[in-house]
Amino acid sequence: MQRAMTAWLDRQIQMDLHRDFNLARFALSVTAKALVLACTINALAHCALEAAGLLPYPLGEALVVGFVTTAKITVAVTLFLTLTIGQAIRKLAIQRNAFEHLSSTDALSGVRNRRAFFEEFEGATQDGALILIDIDRFKAINDTYGHPAGDAVIEGVGHTLTAVFAGLPAIIGRVGGEEFAVFLPAIAGSRADHAEAARAAVAAMVVAGVEGPVTVSLGVAACRPARPAIETYAAADRALYLAKAGGRNRTAREADLSALARLQEPRAAGDPPGDGLRLSPVSA
């Protein structure tokens, strides 16, 4: 019986530790459970002594005295131990949270690193959009202004994307040297509009040590629960390539790829020429 009660108490403590740790709640919870366990053991012990004829006074009186004494000792000792242990656990919890944040965050841009982004993106189960964002002519920025300036550009883009998508259930990550990705679950408004807002915000950035605007090209693809994440990423990457080929500093959608394919199909004699594929917006 004692082993069973001890195992039960241990399970309860472990359950507490897996919640968001609160020192006062932890101390009260452990104290209450320890009190129940101690009083139960005390009652069983008194019953055994009474059955053996070793109690000098009636069982009822012995139980009351034993409960009061056990309660006083258990509360005092358990509160002291749990507060002491709880402080240590709280520090460990804070350190663990800090470590988890560092292990999932790109130190330069402040957004999720590649591993953390793809873990969340591949685990998504709702409709949405994947936006791939690539800094235009990033190698030229490094070659012209130096790598510290390139780092400042990456940092600026990360902070800008965070500001643009603030308040939205967006997952933002740096997935390559100068490439970012945003998973945007289904929300009100056009996904292309949100991509355009990001493009315009980056173009408006001022980066110390870099002359002229920093621009990005974006590719947007649809996410669906039944669609493999690798297929969505490939479609967004093709759209990004289309935006680059179209002059950079613009957004291309997955639908634009289909339109381009139709324009490239052989035309029968007498068919009117196509109007051409227009990406939004034109290069600034």
Q: How confident is residue 284, by pLDDT bands cut at 50, 70 and 90?
A: very low
**What is the total count of domains within the chain?**
2
| Domain, as residue range, for 59 | 2-104
Among 39, 70, 104, the domain-final residue is: 104
75 shares its domain with 189: no
What 8-state DSSP symbol labels residue 136? T
**Across residues 3-13, what is the average pLDDT?**
59
The CATH code of the domain that includes 188 is 3.30.70.270
162 shares its domain with 195: yes
12 shares its domain with 128: no
20 shares its domain with 147: no
142 shares its domain with 47: no
Among 76, 104, 132, the domain-final residue is: 104
pLDDT for position 93: 57
Q: How confident is residue 51, by pLDDT bands cut at 50, 70 and 90?
A: low
pTM of the predicted model, to two decimals?
0.62
87 shares its domain with 171: no
Task: Mark whether 178 is an active-site residue.
Answer: yes
Q: How confident is residue 255, by pLDDT bands cut at 50, 70 and 90?
A: confident
281 lies in some domain: no
136 shares its domain with 244: yes
Q: Locate tokens 């634009």: which residue?
A: 256
pLDDT for position 283: 37
Among 43, 74, 104, the domain-final residue is: 104
Q: Locate tokens 């967004």: which residue?
A: 236
221 shares its domain with 251: yes
> Per-residue pLDDT tens for 24-49?
666 667 667 776 776 777 677 767 76
Catalytic option among 155, 178, 179, 254: 178
Dihedral angle computed from the Cα positions of residues 62, 68, 70 and 75, in that order, rounded to the nearest 10 degrees: 170
275 lies in some domain: no
Structure tokens at 161: 């994307």
> DSSP string of 50-92?
HHTT--SS-HHHHHHHHHHHHHHHHHHHHHHHHHHHHHHHHHH
207 shares its domain with 181: yes
